[in-house]
């Protein structure tokens, strides 16, 4: 008897090297592009057959955009209910600082407490689809927790490598999900080196940021949601806390795809995209400002915003492209300012955000003061995680 294959509606056609455009098959295991050792980008048949009216009545998760997601067989979907997080107006802070139209998308409400759930739900689903034996990841915290959770759901072994200084809550949650956890002294790039050492035979799939093509596809759903939730009127500016950069690159990819699908007016002015980094680790800011050619030799320090401690992001060229194409900018925020941001968002808006999200709010304040932002502009802040796992970093500083 023929096995029943629950096919999905995916319109994926191939993967393309982000540097030279060389095309690769999407239905076999892929990592980075063999031609340039750079990220692979999923490409779809965006010919207008996917209409936004098809979204009506679909499930309230990121999987509502299945035509522009890479999963081929619905039965491989590994979901914990990620996506479709709320957008809310920040009336109190807006009024206090003179923003007339300030909104926040709260990604802290995702499963496992961060937007990493989107990327890992997608990557682990695809890992299952191509038949891997297990997954391994270098992480600053949230990505490891998300990978461990989705691997638990998928019955796949999980190996997580994180800095020893990561707050306890991240480590503890990984243990609860049954992951094997390795701790080491250093930042995520040191963890990446340890992953290469542990996984020399490549028995496990390394789901490092942009070293496989599908976490980006999960993250890009934030762009689709922002458009859908704002009834296809995009914000003027989007501020994003950039570590490896998948959110920044993914949201911009979503805007390009929606333009191709005819979901956005042809003459639409796309949002100016802002990369917010920690003063302690600001490789993209320094390159953007012309202080270095690229971040390949950059050394960073740890930061309260663990997710921003990424000194040498593989996706830097793609991030810079987004900043340039969108007319955006890059800015860094001090440790002190992040604590002030957590305090303000908690007290004035009832949102206990991750320091990464607080950095984004503080960046908006700076950019308004500098005149880079206008008071009347619609400004969207991405809070990428919940503050609850960061207590070791900020405890008592309310
Ligand atoms: C990982 C992380 C980031 C950075 O995300 P990238 O995709 O690496 O740019 C920002 N905020 C939080 C809370 C994170 O966990
Ligand atoms: Zn190439």
pLDDT digits (tens, 9 = 90+) for 327-338: 999 999 999 999
Distance 274 CA to ligand 1 centre (A): 14
Q: In this predicted structure, what is the pLDDT of residue 5?
A: 59
Is 259 in contact with 156 (CB distance < 8 Å)? no
Atom of ligand 1 nearest to the CA of 246: 7
Spell out which residues line ligand 1, taking CB within 6 angstroms: 114, 116, 142-143, 209, 241-247, 307, 310, 354, 356, 384-385
Does 84 score more than 70 pLDDT?
yes
The per-residue b/e assignment along 193-223, b for 16 or more CB within 10 angstroms, e otherwise, is: ebbeebbeeeebbbbbbbbbbbbbbbbbbbb
My answer on whether 20 and 34 are in the same domain is yes
My answer on whether 102 and 137 are in the same domain is no
My answer on whether 271 and 370 are in the same domain is yes
* Domain that residue 8 falls in: 2-76
Is 252 in contact with 327 (CB distance < 8 Å)? no
My answer on whether 294 and 244 are in the same domain is yes
In this structure, which ligand is nearest to the CA of 137?
1
Q: Is residue 388 part of a domain?
A: yes
Does 47 score more than 90 pLDDT?
no
3-state class (DSSP) for residue 112: helix
C-alpha distance across the termini of the chain, in Å: 64
pLDDT tens figures, 365-379: 999 999 999 999 999
pLDDT tens figures, 119-161: 999 999 999 999 999 999 999 999 999 999 999 999 999 999 9
Q: In this predicted structure, what is the pLDDT of residue 6?
A: 64
Single residue among 183, 206, 229 that ends a domain in this structure: 206
In this structure, which ligand is nearest to the CA of 243?
1
Which of 308, 361, 393 to mutate to test ligand 1, by most ligand atoms within 8 A of the CB atom? 308
My answer on whether 223 and 329 are in the same domain is yes
My answer on whether 272 and 388 are in the same domain is yes
Q: Lowest mean pLDDT: which of 104-113, 202-211, 260-269, 294-303?
A: 260-269
Atom of ligand 1 nearest to the CA of 244: 8
Q: Whose CA is nearest to atom 14 of ligand 1?
A: 307
Atom of ligand 1 nearest to the CA of 245: 9
Task: Count helices and strands (H / E) in the chain.
Answer: 12, 13
Q: Whose CA is nearest to atom 2 of ligand 1?
A: 307
Give alpha helix (H) positions in 12-164: 91-97, 116-130, 142-154
Residue 186: CA count within 13 A, CB half-sphere:
15
CA–CA separation, 364 and 373 (whole Å): 8
In this structure, which ligand is nearest to the CA of 18?
2
pLDDT tens figures, 186-240: 999 999 999 999 999 999 999 999 999 999 999 999 999 999 999 999 999 999 9
My answer on whether 105 and 190 are in the same domain is no
My answer on whether 93 and 56 are in the same domain is no
**Token pair 């390159």 in the structure block, residue:** 287
Does 4 score more than 90 pLDDT?
no
My answer on whether 166 and 59 are in the same domain is no
Is 320 in contact with 349 (CB distance < 8 Å)? no
Q: How confident is the model at residue 265 (pLDDT cuts 50, 70, 90)?
A: confident
Number of Cβ within 10 Å of residue 47's Cβ equals 10
Single residue among 178, 206, 234 that ends a domain in this structure: 206
What CATH number does residue 187 fall under? Answer: 3.40.50.1100
In this structure, which ligand is nearest to the CA of 32?
2
Atom of ligand 1 nearest to the CA of 354: 13
Distance 315 CA to ligand 2 centre (A): 14
Q: Which residues contact 269 (CB under 8 A, 6 or more apart)?
A: 236
CA–CA separation, 340 and 334 (whole Å): 10
Q: How confident is the model at residue 2 (pLDDT cuts 50, 70, 90)?
A: very low
Which of 316, 384, 394 to mutate to test ligand 1, by most ligand atoms within 8 A of the CB atom? 384
In whole numbers, what is the pLDDT of the chain averaged over residues?
Answer: 96
Domain count, the chain: 3
Q: Is residue 231 part of a domain?
A: yes
Q: Is residue 376 part of a domain?
A: yes
Beta-strand (E) ranges in 145-236?
A: 158-163, 180-184, 205-206
Q: Is residue 211 part of a domain?
A: no
My answer on whether 65 and 123 are in the same domain is no
Q: Is residue 165 part of a domain?
A: yes
My answer on whether 40 and 103 are in the same domain is no
């Amino acid at each position: 008897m023929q096995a029943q294959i629950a096919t999905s509606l995916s319109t994926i056609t191939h993967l393309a090297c982000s540097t030279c455009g060389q095309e690769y098959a999407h239905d076999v295991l892929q990592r980075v592009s063999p031609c340039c050792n750079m990220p692979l980008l999923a490409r779809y048949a965006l010919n207008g057959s996917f209409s936004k009216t098809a979204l009506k009545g679909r499930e309230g998760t990121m999987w509502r955009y299945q035509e522009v997601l890479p999963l081929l067989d619905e039965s491989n979907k590994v979901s914990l209910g990620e996506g479709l997080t709320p957008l809310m107006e920040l009336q109190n802070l807006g009024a206090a600082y003179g923003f007339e139209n300030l909104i926040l998308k709260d990604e802290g409400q995702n499963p496992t407490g961060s937007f990493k759930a989107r990327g890992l739900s997608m990557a682990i689903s695809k890992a299952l689809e191509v038949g891997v034996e297990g997954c391994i990841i270098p992480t600053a915290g949230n990505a490891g927790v998300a990978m461990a959770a989705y691997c638990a759901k998928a019955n796949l072994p999980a190996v997580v490598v994180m800095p020893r200084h990561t707050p306890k809550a991240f480590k503890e949650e990984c243990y609860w999900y049954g992951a094997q956890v390795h701790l080491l002294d250093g930042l995520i790039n040191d963890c990446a080196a340890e992953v290469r050492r542990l996984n020399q035979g490549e028995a496990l799939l390394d789901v490092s940021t942009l070293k496989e093509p599908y976490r980006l596809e999960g993250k890009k759903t934030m762009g689709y949601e922002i458009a859908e939730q704002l009834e296809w009127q995009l914000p003027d500016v989007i501020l994003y806390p950039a570590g490896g950069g998948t959110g920044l690159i993914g949201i911009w990819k979503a805007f390009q795809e929606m333009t191709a699908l005819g979901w956005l007016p042809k003459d639409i002015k796309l949002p100016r995209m802002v990369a917010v980094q920690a003063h302690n680790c600001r490789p993209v800011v320094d390159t953007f400002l012309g202080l270095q050619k690229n971040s390949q030799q950059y050394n960073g320090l740890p930061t309260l915003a663990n997710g921003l401690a990424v000194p040498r992001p593989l996706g830097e060229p793609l991030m810079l492209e987004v900043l340039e194409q969108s007319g955006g900018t890059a800015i860094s925020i001090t440790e002190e300012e992040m604590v002030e941001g957590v305090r303000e968002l908690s007290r004035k808006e009832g949102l206990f955000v991750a320091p990464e999200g607080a950095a984004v709010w503080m960046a908006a304040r700076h950019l308004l003061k500098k005149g880079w932002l206008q008071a009347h502009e619609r400004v969207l802040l991405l809070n990428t995680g919940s503050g609850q796992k960061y207590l070791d970093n900020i405890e008592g500083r309310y």
